[in-house]
């Protein structure tokens, strides 16, 4: 935060950029530490572990036990409803008690990643004419919300333009477009690093 508004002084910007880069590196390393889980979850579904790793990076930076302000849980930041839907699709038994389900999603990384992969696979299989970026927006915001945004703006491309223009003005955005693009950058970085 810069007192009085405006930009931070150049030396502080350099320190902040360095700290940001170090945190991003740590997040990528955390995700790479889950390589076996990512490969296992992707193998049966035909998904790219780099893509799933990119989602994990954007969601939790590869840190287990995370809880979002919206109640999303674990490495893949699943809400219980999405986890239940994914489990039903792949025939995975889940606890019926909400507290037990929450605990499982928080502390069973294998289950969380497997259900996250199943959810991504379903989104990809049911995307219609959406490209990968739009699918990732829907993973972040939910399909219903993305459908509403598209309807409000007339098309996905118009919604994207409105997000980009708002960001350029410094106005508040949904954050979902930035999220999707962060996933894609992390996917590419993970592929380039060659650990996954």
Put simply, whether the predicted model's pTM sits higher than 0.85 gets the answer yes
Residue 149 included in any domain: yes
Task: Say what the pLDDT of residue 9 is.
Answer: 61
Would residue 4 count as lying in a domain? no
Q: How many domains is the chain partitioned into structurally? A: 1
172 domain residue, yes or no: yes
Q: Would residue 14 count as lying in a domain?
A: no
Write down the pLDDT at residue 22.
Answer: 79
What region does 4 belong to: left with phi over 0, alpha with psi -120 to 50, or beta?
A: left
Domain for residue 139, yes or no? Answer: yes
pLDDT at residue 29, as a whole number: 96
Q: Which domain holds residue 76?
A: 34-193
Residue 21 lies in a domain: no
Q: Rounded to whole angstroms, what are the CA distances from 121 to 41, 113, 127, 193? A: 11, 12, 10, 24
CATH code for position 156: 1.10.530.10
Q: What's the confidence (pLDDT) of residue 61?
A: 97
In a domain, 120, yes or no: yes
In angstroms, the CA 33 to CA 60 distance is 13
Closest CA to 160 of 131, 183, 139, 187: 131
Q: What are the pLDDT tens digits along the chain (196 aa)?
A: 344 445 666 666 666 666 667 788 999 999 999 999 999 999 989 999 999 999 999 999 999 999 999 999 999 999 999 999 999 999 999 999 999 999 999 999 999 999 999 999 999 999 999 999 999 999 999 999 999 999 999 999 999 999 999 999 999 999 999 999 999 999 999 999 998 8
- The answer as to whether 151 is a domain residue is yes
Helix, strand or coil, per DSSP, at residue 67: strand
The tokens 């930076």 sit on which residue?
61
The pLDDT assigned to 11 comes to 67
Which pLDDT belongs to residue 1? 38
């Amino acid at each position: 935060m810069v007192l009085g508004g405006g930009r931070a002084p150049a030396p502080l910007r350099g320190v902040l950029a360095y700290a940001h880069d170090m945190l991003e590196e740590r997040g990528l390393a955390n995700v790479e530490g889950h390589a076996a889980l990512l490969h296992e979850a992707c193998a049966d579904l035909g998904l790219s572990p780099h893509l799933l790793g990119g989602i994990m990076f954007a969601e939790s930076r590869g840190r287990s036990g995370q809880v979002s302000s919206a109640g999303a849980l674990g490495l893949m930041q699943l809400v219980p409803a999405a986890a239940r839907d994914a489990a039903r699709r792949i025939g995975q038994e889940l606890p019926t008690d909400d507290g037990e389900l929450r605990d499982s999603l928080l502390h069973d990384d294998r289950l969380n990643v497997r259900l996250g992969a199943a959810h991504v696979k379903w989104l990809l299989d049911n995307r219609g004419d959406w490209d990968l970026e739009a699918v990732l927006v829907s993973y972040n915001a939910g399909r219903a919300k993305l459908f509403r945004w598209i309807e409000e703006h007339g098309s996905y491309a118009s919604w994207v333009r409105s997000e980009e223009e708002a960001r350029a003005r410094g106005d508040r955005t949904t954050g979902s477009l930035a999220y999707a693009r962060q996933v894609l950058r992390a996917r590419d970085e993970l592929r380039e690093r060659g650990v996954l």
